[in-house]
Amino acid sequence: MPGNKRPKLNAQSLKALNRAQPSAPPSKPEFTTNIDPTQRGDAALSLSLPPPKPPTQINARDLKGLKYFNLINPLLEHLHECGTQRDRAGNRILHYDQYAALILLFYFNPIIKGLRGITQASQLERLQKELGCSRASLGSLSEAARVFDSEPLREIIGELAQKALPITVGKEAEALRGLTAVDGSLLPALPKMAWALWQDDEHRAAKMHVHFDVFKGAPMDVTVTHGSGSENEQLRNMLLPKRLYVIDRGYGEYQLFQDIIDAGSSFIGRIKDNAAFEVLEARPITPEAKAAGVIRDVIVKRLGTDHHKNVLKQSVRIVTVATGKIDSNGQPDVLILATDRLDLAAELVALAYKYRWSVELFFRWLKCILGCRHLLATNQNGVEIQVYLGIIASLLISLWTGKKPTQRTLEMLQFYFSGWATWEELQAHIEKLKDHK
């Protein structure tokens, strides 16, 4: 009908209608977009992100348990003057022993997540009193990673490792005395860490080379190189007498085998499946050896073909062990183990190689549980300091408890250092570990 025609809406009417309608409740976006009509291109668009979460505030209540540092301080006090030779004015604020104690606190206190947490904790009067230090700025911590030589900490590792007592005893441990598992493990690094050569410019890594005393359940020695560092050369440089080194086939270099023997030690190492050797004598397989998976036990005159130089000066032994597993090619998985220990029972040779896995478990503890994979420094010396102090922290736990360090024990120590557990509760946990056989 003509009288019922709808009125036409112009621009002004639309604006009035929009103002009159109630607006819907706004959703909660992750971010808002602001457009500035006076700008062009990317400058016209800006993102308003939600405010970042404030960093965790550390106060004196979070640092209750510092009594253990009274035990640590004598271990570190001889480091106090290290690295001060160029400080002719005598105004150095952060000394080596104090820096080392702060890094150890990073490992033992879960509230401290990185360098900024260390800086904040160092402002607390109680910590300054216990560690004898003043506030450590980010700049001083960064400088300390470059100025203080890491080698004295490696010497402390050797001293602590000597104090560790065997946690596994018995006839097998006696027959395999000095069993040392050797391997390397990568620590992911930032692309800007140019020294940490690994795959390419975007994939950097540091590598720690660890010698692990199997029956003490403790590391003996460690070095740090770039990710492509030679494991064979590091082992060659770290050899000690009276050890029984157990190594995987990545170390299967025949000259290295001879170098181990020349150093006054022995080896049990896996070699490649296609390794050539000349059999001198076949040994019978005992029921005990058969039960351990041994399928062949021979003494060989040499390793390698006639076209290769025979670098071994004495006969060695090849023990072949079936693992009972299937390899990636669908074939039975077999270990071919070489050793110079002609006196060992074949089943003990197989057992010794099985113990090699203990160093892999230690890597998991050090990197994933203790937190050593979170690097606090970017230069090699600083990474060495952090790794060495991580090893020292592990050894201290072993010496305090008489057991291998575990996640439960670390948690109890962290509860103590955070003020949640009392000294008596921590001591009760340690005594319980000592009583548990």
Q: What are phi and psi of 47, to 5 degrees?
A: -105, 130
Q: Is position 23 within any domain?
A: no
**Do 157 and 141 fall into the same domain?**
no
In single-letter form, the type of residue at position 227 comes to G
**Do 254 and 339 fall into the same domain?**
yes
**Do 175 and 313 fall into the same domain?**
no
The dihedral built from the CA positions of residue 364, 368, 369 and 374, taken in this order, carries a sign that is positive
Q: Is position 37 within any domain?
A: no
**Do 395 and 267 fall into the same domain?**
no
**Do 271 and 311 fall into the same domain?**
yes
- For residue 130, CA distances in Å to 60, 75, 103, 237, 321 come to 12, 14, 14, 38, 55
Nearest Cα neighbor of 57 from 112, 137, 130, 8 is 112
Q: Is position 312 within any domain?
A: yes
**Do 154 and 136 fall into the same domain?**
no
**Do 393 and 254 fall into the same domain?**
no
Q: Is position 159 within any domain?
A: yes
**Do 66 and 90 fall into the same domain?**
yes
Identify the pLDDT of residue 69.
Answer: 61
Q: Is position 343 within any domain?
A: yes
Q: Is position 393 within any domain?
A: yes
**Do 288 and 301 fall into the same domain?**
yes
Domain count, the chain: 3
Identify the pLDDT of residue 125.
Answer: 87
**Do 378 and 234 fall into the same domain?**
yes
Q: Is position 32 within any domain?
A: no
Q: Is position 166 within any domain?
A: yes
Burial of residue 244 (CB within 10 Å: 0-12, 13-18, 19+) is buried
**Do 235 and 369 fall into the same domain?**
yes
- Of 301, 329, 347, which residue constitutes the final position of a domain? 347
Number of C-beta neighbours around residue 173 at 10 A: 15
Regions of the chain short of the pLDDT cut 70: 1-71, 87-90, 306-307, 435-437
Asked whether 336 and 271 are in contact (CB, 8 A), the reply is: yes
Encoding tokens for residue 230?
Answer: 């030679």
Structural domain of 69: 60-148+406-435
**Do 381 and 232 fall into the same domain?**
yes
